Structure 1
């Protein structure tokens, strides 16, 4: 089951002491969809990175299902990401020397021996679900931008995470591919009861989410529910 999220008195500051992000309170129910919107540099990606444990806040609590990840060690936060999160990045972060299936099933390389085959099987399943079932052995450099992002989505889902965090997943795609990928991402998250948090400038993708938060100058200035 997806964990609920509770953020309290969150603050991220620069080395010079400038406030980059300040969130007094943010709560998200398990399985809910949330779009983070705002101008470039507003603090959207910083918030996403804090929620993932990639960035430790200067102050405050980031609680997933009762676990304050801001209080964890770096190793413990890494374990939390492996066990709980599926991450999707704007530039995909695929390995060119691996096949589509190799990239989608990458988490199997870090799993205990007994867990490797299920991850690889799940990777093949999600590639097929996303329309790449016949392309698992093809080299990544042979895929279009839309196909590469679908491989990244399959990789995020392969480990069965209850939470998906995506940073501008449709930004590099044309309108048709962005709409198709956005629809699939939202549908697959909903079908699995997963929490989905997306940073996006894509109004079409944001509209598919149950909730939209707008960030400006590191602060939440608007919070709307569908």
Structure 2
């Protein structure tokens, strides 16, 4: 597998995310993350963890402030440019997998080929297959997604997020729907992805085992970062 682009640095300044009614959902005066490092975001439900992650990915627009990956300010991008940036630079892993049940593992992991020029599709499909193999699902490419266990489904979602070789991985509660053994295996996989490939990894999680494997833990409460611990 070709080496991916080095992880991007994150810089957040004066960030405020509000609900439509004006309530403050998250407020981060300043945050920096070194390229290639791994960060867990923890805290009780409703603390603003997922809101912050969505702001970091550009899925929600902040009321004010700056989120920059590798010097690119997401707020300065129009909708089309932001979509392209997220497609090319950010791999997203969701708690609920979001797989197409009627498709096989490989077709799910390579689903982005549907949105690429024909000349780029084969390379992405090959990368998706390589990641499935690395994550232990190399022999399951044609099995329908609805035949897989929760742990297998999440690994398909990880392969999908990595198929385009993004320098940044953002994951929202990736172990929440898994049994303990599957969660522990995924924790090892995610930590290794950042350590071995140089990707920048940010994970929202309640899982202490996963958080302990990462370089840094941010704790949130009432929309603010209240503790910043380095491993």
- What is the TM-score normalised by the length of structure 2? 0.96
Provide the alpha-carbon RMSD of the alignment: 0.8
> Does residue 25 of the first structure (1) align with residue 30 of the second (2)?
yes
- What is the TM-score normalised by the length of structure 1? 0.98
Q: 2:72 aligns with which of 64, 67, 71?
A: 67
Corresponding residue for 1:80? 85
> Does residue 39 of the first structure (1) align with residue 44 of the second (2)?
yes
Q: Secondary structure at the match of 1:108?
A: helix
Deviation at 1:189, TM superposition (A): 2.5
Corresponding residue for 1:13? 18
1:78-157 pair list within 5 angstroms: 78-157=83-162
Corresponding residue for 1:196? 201
Provide the rounded CA distance (Å) in 2 between the counterparts of 1:201 and 1:3. Answer: 25
Corresponding residue for 1:174? 179
Please give the per-residue CA displacement for 1:74-95, whole angstroms capped at 9, x wherever unaligned: 1111111111011000000001
Deviation at 1:142, TM superposition (A): 0.4
Please give the per-residue CA displacement for 1:162-199, whole angstroms capped at 9, x wherever unaligned: 00000000001111110011101110222111000000
Q: Secondary structure at the match of 1:10?
A: strand
Provide the rounded CA distance (Å) in 2 between the counterparts of 1:202 and 1:70. Answer: 31
Moved over 6 A (4+): none
Provide the rounded CA distance (Å) in 2 between the counterparts of 1:191 and 1:185. Answer: 10
Deviation at 1:71, TM superposition (A): 2.1
Deviation at 1:110, TM superposition (A): 1.2
Please give the per-residue CA displacement for 1:104-151, whole angstroms capped at 9, x wherever unaligned: 011111122221101100111111111111100000000000000000
Provide the rounded CA distance (Å) in 2 between the counterparts of 1:70 and 1:57. Answer: 8
Provide the rounded CA distance (Å) in 2 between the counterparts of 1:65 and 1:123. Answer: 25
Deviation at 1:64, TM superposition (A): 0.7
Q: Secondary structure at the match of 2:32?
A: strand
